[in-house]
Amino acid sequence: MGVKMEISELMNRIRSITPDESDSQFVTYFYLIQIIRTIILC
């Protein structure tokens, strides 16, 4: 599905942007919240 592709792309971006594990955890949760919002709105 398209949503799974978007999530995998975002996860790859998060990993490339944030090398620190502590930061990546926070960013991952932040992005997951935005993904959930997008799914609910659409």
pLDDT digit of tens for each residue in the chain (42 aa)? 577 877 788 777 777 766 666 666 777 888 888 888 888 886
Which amino acid is present at 28?
T
Give this prediction's pTM. Answer: 0.41
* Domain spans in the chain, listed from the N-terminal domain onward: 2-41
What is the spatial distance between Cα 20 and Cα 6, in angstroms, rounded to a whole number? 23
Contact indicator for 3, 39 with CB cutoff of 8 Å: yes
Task: Give dist(CA 16, CA 41) in Å, integer.
Answer: 28
